[in-house]
Amino acid sequence: MASVPSLASTVQQRLADALSASLPEAGSADPLLRRSDRADFQANGILALAKKLKGNPRELADKVVAAIPDNDVLKEIEVSGPGFLNITVTDEAIVRTLAARAADDRLGVPHSADAGTTVIDYAQPNVAKEMHVGHLRSAVIGAAMVEILEFTGEKVIRRHHIGDWGTQFGMLIQYLIEHPHELDHQGGEVSGEEAMSSLNRLYKASRTVFDSDEEFKARSRDRVVALQSGDEETLALWQKFVDESKIYFYSVFGKLDMEINDPDVVGESGYNDMLDETCRLLEESGVAVRSEGALCVFFDDVKGPDGNPTPLIVKKSNGGYGYAATDLSAIRDRVQNLAADTLLYVVDARQSLHFKMVFETARRAGWLNDKVDAVQLAFGTVLGKDGKPFKTREGETVRLVDLLDEAVDRATAVVREKAKDLTEAEIAERGAQVGIGAVKYADLSTSASRDYKFDLDQMVSLNGDTSVYIQYAHARIKSIFGKAGGIEPVAHPELELAPAERALGLHLDRFGETVAEAAASFEPHKLAAYLYQLSSLFTTFYDQCPVVKPAPPREVAENRLFIADLTARTLHQGMALLGIRTPERL
Ligand code: ARG
């Protein structure tokens, strides 16, 4: 494992050295390097420096350029405009850097210097309830963040904070006690669909009785108390609901081609033993106060429409604990027992106020301090084609499974049309990889905080910013290898590069920086944008730089094949970080 400095960082270093050699009075000034369309890079740092030193920026720039020793990385440095540096690197430096990347399993991407422990809360559906598109977003974005963070060397602990606790279980369990065989299945394995439909049936049936029968309602309330106080029979039935739901959850996660491990499923119930203490500590420290019988935390800047403060309720007046008490206990567990230095919550933006209040409460209580970052990676709403929150024609929330099935169907049709020589089994396999990839990519390619339109036609389109486009670019590279008969990928740093080769090469070199950025800012869409651009740069390269026909000189063909191969590996690695497959053939 050898990490490879990017050309940008090499250039940045050379310039910084030249700056401090030629202008010692500048101290360690930042050359402010960035990518540029005019040259490979542009450095703007001299402008600010000139202001500080009260000098002429162009003269200072000339001095800096003169202080750069002969080297084989920087080909041309032009002082332009008021004192920018336009920098072009040598073709040789590009190919050598790429060769170093190709020699490494991690494509030369370094581990982060300040890696720590992140506890990530994502993929958190609710027991006895259908999963919807909101759960899709949390799962998809969360899984991508897990991969991206782990790739940078971060220790990642996953927590699936499923909704498995609360008053609704009183009703469900009571109904099951009174109708004991409702969750029994006849023989054989239960499918996710079957599990969910029996839960749905039970939910509806118990709701009907609950709403119409006061005595049942009272028995259900007592059942909640029995559950919270740990009554064994009640807990055993509760467990049945959880297990049945997990069959369903796992089947959906399976469809999503996503690995969820049972020990990481620590739902709301997992913090039950801590709730009392959490409330006691809050009350003793004065962070929470009694108000109208409830235990509440108040905030100066959180007010309801009537102008009165809206508190965070940690314990209700009837003694029940809610969502907030659980989340506060989870913070204590994650910081104190799991030693997290980052808490990341991949949760719908509509819960932002909840998290703002929970984090602030935890800070006041001292459970969060300067050493721990608590962040909600808040995501927007999934909209239908009409721009309104995604609903069925009948106005119901769309079942996630139906959506996924439809995406796979559409993608399978696209695959079938394109690849005439695939077997039915291959078509089905690729169809699933393309369809699920399309759904994930559509979610990951826009900034998470924005709402996005769920438009299957657009998602499985071969043109434009889609995963299919990227998957095709990848498969096309693989097919070149089939046709290249005997030519092997070999880097040739001595060759002059065509513009499309340079552009592709420079972009390949930015992979590590992109991953680091996506990890640091919790923005997987930056990686998606990078991969899309990589694919389109490859498409241009493929048009302009033939490998096989018309045949270029052998070294040129080898070098192109080498660049193409590194492109395929980078696409594969990048898509894997997003949780998307890159089939060898499509
Ligand atoms: N189960 C919740 C829902 O479906 C999401 C849980 C989010 N995580 C948390 N720690 N509160 O909306």
Q: How far is the CA of 415 from the centre of ligand 1 (A)?
A: 36
| CA-closest candidate to residue 71, choices 47, 87, 49 | 87
Shortest-distance Cα residue to atom 9 of ligand 1: 161
Q: What is the arrangement of strands in the sheet containing 289-291, beginning at the earlier edge strand?
A: 289-291, 294-297, 312-315
DSSP 176: H
Atom of ligand 1 nearest to the CA of 135: 4
Q: What's the burial of 195, exposed, middle or buried (CB within 10 Å: 0-12/13-18/19+)?
A: buried
Q: In the prediction, which pLDDT does 1 show?
A: 63
Q: How far is the CA of 140 from the centre of ligand 1 (A)?
A: 15
Task: Give the DSSP H or E segment for 373.
Answer: strand 373-379
Looking at residues 251-266, what average pLDDT do you find? 97
Shortest-distance Cα residue to atom 8 of ligand 1: 161
Sign of CA dihedral 9, 12, 18, 20: negative
Shortest-distance Cα residue to atom 4 of ligand 1: 125
Q: Is the pLDDT of residue 128 over 80?
A: yes
Mutation choice for ligand 1 from 132, 157, 161, CB with most ligand atoms inside 8 A: 161
Q: How far is the CA of 160 from the centre of ligand 1 (A)?
A: 9
Q: How far is the CA of 206 from the centre of ligand 1 (A)?
A: 24
DSSP 291: E
Q: How far is the CA of 98 from the centre of ligand 1 (A)?
A: 43
Q: What is the pTM of this model?
A: 0.95
Atom of ligand 1 nearest to the CA of 162: 1
Mutation choice for ligand 1 from 121, 122, 124, 314, CB with most ligand atoms inside 8 A: 124
Q: How far is the CA of 478 from the centre of ligand 1 (A)?
A: 42
* Banded model confidence at residue 134, pLDDT cuts 50, 70, 90: confident
Atom of ligand 1 nearest to the CA of 347: 7
Give the pLDDT confidence of 437-450 residue by residue, as tens digits. 999 999 999 999 99
Looking at residues 3-17, what average pLDDT do you find? 93
* Banded model confidence at residue 70, pLDDT cuts 50, 70, 90: confident
Q: Which range among 88-92, 199-203, 316-320 has the greatest average pLDDT? A: 88-92
Q: Hey, what's the torsion of the CAs at 240, 242, 247, 252, to 10 degrees?
A: 160
- Does residue 165 contact residue 129 with C-beta atoms inside 8 Å? no
Q: How far is the CA of 159 from the centre of ligand 1 (A)?
A: 11
Q: How far is the CA of 264 from the centre of ligand 1 (A)?
A: 15
| CA-closest candidate to residue 435, choices 402, 465, 467 | 467
Q: In the prediction, which pLDDT does 282 show?
A: 98
Looking at residues 25-37, what average pLDDT do you find? 86
Shortest-distance Cα residue to atom 11 of ligand 1: 327
- Does residue 560 contact residue 124 with C-beta atoms inside 8 Å? no
* Banded model confidence at residue 351, pLDDT cuts 50, 70, 90: very high
* Banded model confidence at residue 369, pLDDT cuts 50, 70, 90: very high
Mutation choice for ligand 1 from 351, 358, 361, 376, CB with most ligand atoms inside 8 A: 351
DSSP β-ladder status, 373-379 and 342-348:
parallel
* Banded model confidence at residue 364, pLDDT cuts 50, 70, 90: very high
* Banded model confidence at residue 393, pLDDT cuts 50, 70, 90: confident
- Beta-carbon contacts of 437 under 8 Å, excluding residues fewer than 6 positions away, are 411, 467, 468, 471, 575, 580, 581
Atom of ligand 1 nearest to the CA of 163: 1
Looking at residues 552-565, what average pLDDT do you find? 97
Q: How far is the CA of 203 from the centre of ligand 1 (A)?
A: 20
Distance between CA atoms of residues 328 and 531, nearest Å: 38
Atom of ligand 1 nearest to the CA of 330: 10
Three-state SS string over 77-109 comes to EEEECCCEEEEEECHHHHHHHHHHHHCCCCCCC
Q: How far is the CA of 254 from the centre of ligand 1 (A)?
A: 20
Q: Is the pLDDT of residue 549 over 80?
A: yes
- By residue count, the chain amounts to 586
Distance between CA atoms of residues 326 and 431, nearest Å: 41
Spell out the domains of the chain, with CATH numbers in brackets.
7-89 (3.30.1360.70), 400-577 (1.10.730.10)
Give the pLDDT confidence of 147-190 residue by residue, as tens digits. 999 999 999 999 999 999 988 899 999 999 999 888 888 777 88
Atom of ligand 1 nearest to the CA of 351: 12
Ligand 1 site residues, Cβ closer than 6 angstroms: 121, 124, 126, 161, 163, 327, 345, 347
Q: Is the pLDDT of residue 506 over 80?
A: yes
Q: Is the pLDDT of residue 392 over 80?
A: no
Looking at residues 223-235, what average pLDDT do you find? 92
Mean pLDDT, the chain, integer = 94
Q: In the prediction, which pLDDT does 538 show?
A: 98
Looking at residues 260-288, what average pLDDT do you find? 97
Q: How far is the CA of 540 from the centre of ligand 1 (A)?
A: 44
Q: Which residue bears the tokens 């049942």?
A: 216
Q: How far is the CA of 231 from the centre of ligand 1 (A)?
A: 26
Shortest-distance Cα residue to atom 5 of ligand 1: 124
